[in-house]
Structure 1
């Protein structure tokens, strides 16, 4: 039988090694109260991309900060237009400017 035809669950794994070293990480957590469509799509498409893109600070995270803030505001604007007025828009623009 060709190795490509073997089902992944039928493979025999050698678990006699010590595996990877584990290092405890001191991290604060917060409860998620809402999930956006794009966040859910990222999670469904790739758990790893979601983990590194949304949950863990990476070295290039600051590079995307402005785009992420704008995107998050645009999603909020679409799903909750009743909460958006000129004052809120001005505050968001000021916040994005300060953060970037």
Structure 2
């Protein structure tokens, strides 16, 4: 059973401000930028695959570029994910 003497006092911090909804133009810009950033990742996969199929391993000359392309491509995917997920609109309060 609960004991009213052991209850913790309410937090002294104010509630966080409600999130601001993002505009549709910013979301579209983020998705388009993410798609553009996916292209180096696609090239990295293609060139890395060609390099592996020719020699059986990734050449030391192309390996840093493949890694950089993959990192940029992952960043593009993350940007698209963040744009689609977005911030949630605050709930509509009907105080009337």
User: TM-score with structure 1 length normalisation?
Assistant: 0.25
Q: Which has the larger radius of gyration?
A: 2
